[in-house]
Amino acid sequence: QAPEDGDVSIVQNDSDGPSVEWFRDAKFGMFVHWGVSSQTGGQWRGENYYGITEWLWRRSEASREDYLGLLDTFDPQGFDADEWVSLAKEAGAKYIVVTAKHHDGVAMFDTDFSDYDVTDGAPFGRDPMKELSIAAEKEGIRLGFYYSQFQDWEHPDGGGNEWEYDPAGKDFSVYQQEKAIPQLDELLTNYGDVALIWFDTPGDSTLESARQFVDFVRERQPDTLISSRIGHGLGDYQNYRDSEIPVVHESSRPFEAIFPHNESWGYTALDTNFKSTTELLHILADVASKGGNFLLNVGPDGNGKIPEASVNRFREIGKWMDVNGESIYGTSASPFAPVPWGTVTQRDGAVYLHVLEAPASREIFLPSGDLNIRQAKLLATGKRLSVTTVEGGLKIGLPDDMPDSRNSVVALYHNDGLLDTASI
């Protein structure tokens, strides 16, 4: 079953919830899936596990001893929090979300409420969440924690581990009270400002249980945002399915579209089919044109290193952002129906045309004649472009040599303020 975020038609946000403005404006973030299973890269005990490697325990149905034995070898001496944070920064990401605890139940931070953490329970002996929080604070980038609130395959009463424990004898509230809530307490107490808690897959958790998580986060850090995968229509922003971009985003909550770089969130040695930079830049423009954030994943390996292919792509995105960031950060959804040559974003007094496929005619049509345009130019070069009023809209002339074959942005500066979304 695909992870869904519950019934989004019943949004039960508390009206005095945290401000989502920074999140709405951020537009690009770095997701990090890292855990003890990252050591295997999908190859374990003579078997190849193609696809999502963070599900290794469930997929292999290994015994508790065997899977949790991966802690005994977890010693990523190559982990450097500054390196990860600098890469995010260089790429133009405004926030980082890192797996503090995934479904396997292993804490990637120092916890007093489980024996299974990488600090006391592994040779590593360091607290990577602590190191990341310090590095992020230093670089001025926000840090959020992924915390699997329902599935916990290590705790006998955790959700989603029926192959290991008898469901009939389980009491989810025991897990919630003795592990999940106390660990969230640690994460919201010992790591400075927590930008968000990325709850995932509500499973068959109850509304009461979800409410308890929300109330607890609010009480500890009132500004911390909560993902909609807490379920039951709760949460401060909306997640869609993995790798899904909505056709139109209709909720008043901001949204986030999440993508892995290849076919796994956790590190895999079996899949080098990374999405190209072009593809990633198109996703970025597409998501922004719907008004949302693009959260792009990396899966560092068992030594704490982000795969070179991901590093290169993040750097390329950063170079594009340096030139074209004006058309992404702080923008809102396109006011136009879909256009064949690309996507559109806007802010007060500006419309940005993301030309993903420049037509051979070197002319693009915008279905609005109402724009009171002062200037049209290519962001990359500053080159002025011609704008002509034609039947039903505007025609913009493009040069033969577009500056960036992946996405060249045309900025139209006008005098009409912010245009009504989807009104044209």
Positions touching ligand H79 (CB under 6 A) are: 3, 33, 51-52, 54-55, 58-59, 200-201, 242, 258, 265
Q: Which residue, 51 or 192, is less far from ligand H79 as judged by CB?
A: 51
Q: Least distance in Å: CB of 258 to ligand H79?
A: 6
Shortest Cβ distance from residue 260 to ligand H79 (Å)? 8
Nearer to ligand H79, 209 or 239 (CB): 239
Q: How far is the CB of 377 from ligand H79 (least distance, A)?
A: 39
Residue 365 near residue 379 (C-beta atoms within 8 A): no
β-strand 255-259 against 238-239: which pairing, if any?
parallel
Positive or negative CA dihedral for 201, 207, 212, 216? Answer: positive
CB of 203 to ligand H79, least distance (A): 9
- Toward ligand H79, which CB reaches closer, 54 or 404? 54
Nearer to ligand H79, 61 or 112 (CB): 61
Q: Is 45 left (phi over 0), alpha (psi -120 to 50) or beta?
A: left
Q: In terms of CB distance, is 62 or 355 closer to ligand H79?
A: 62
Smallest gap from Cβ 163 to ligand H79, in A, equals 10
**Least separation in angstroms between CB 401 and ligand H79:** 40
What gap in Å lies between CA 26 and CA 330, rounded to an integer?
A: 7
Q: Which is nearer to ligand H79, 75 or 256 (CB)?
A: 256
Shortest Å distance, C-beta 297 to ligand H79: 8
Shortest gap between Cβ of 167 and ligand H79 (angstroms)? 16
Confirm if 189 and 240 have CB atoms less than 8 A apart.
Answer: no
CA distance 230 to 236: 10
Shortest separation between residue 198's beta carbon and ligand H79, angstroms: 8
Burial category of 352 from C-beta neighbours within 10 Å (exposed 0-12, middle 13-18, buried 19 and up): buried
User: Can you list the positions of beta strands (E) in 323-384?
Assistant: 342-347, 350-355, 363-366, 373-378
Q: Could you give the CA distance from residue 115 to residue 109 in angstroms, rounded to a whole number?
A: 11
402/385 Cα distance (integer angstroms):
12
Pick the closest to residue 367 from 346, 399, 345, 389 (CA basis): 389
Q: How far is CA 341 from the centre of its chain?
A: 26
Buried-state track 402-411, b at ≥16 Cβ within 10 A, e below 16 = bbbebbbbbb
Q: Contact, 3 vs 203, CB < 8 A?
A: no
The helix/strand/coil state of 146 is strand
CA distances from 140 to 33, 133, 220 (A): 21, 10, 22
**Closest distance of CB 37 from ligand H79, Å:** 10
| Closer Cβ to ligand H79, 84 or 336, answer by number | 84
- Closest approach of ligand H79 to the CB of residue 301, in Å: 17
Q: Whole-angstrom Cα distance, residue 395 to residue 372?
A: 14
Of residues 102 and 249, the one with the C-beta less far from ligand H79: 102
State the DSSP code for 154: S
Nearer to ligand H79, 157 or 200 (CB): 200
Whose Cβ is closer to ligand H79: residue 51's or residue 156's?
51
> In 3D, which of 286, 310, 293, 297 has the Cα closest to residue 240?
293
Amino acid at 202: P
Torsions phi, psi for 316 (to 5 deg): -65, -40
User: Given the complex with ligand H79, which of 23 and 147 has the nearer CB atom?
Assistant: 147
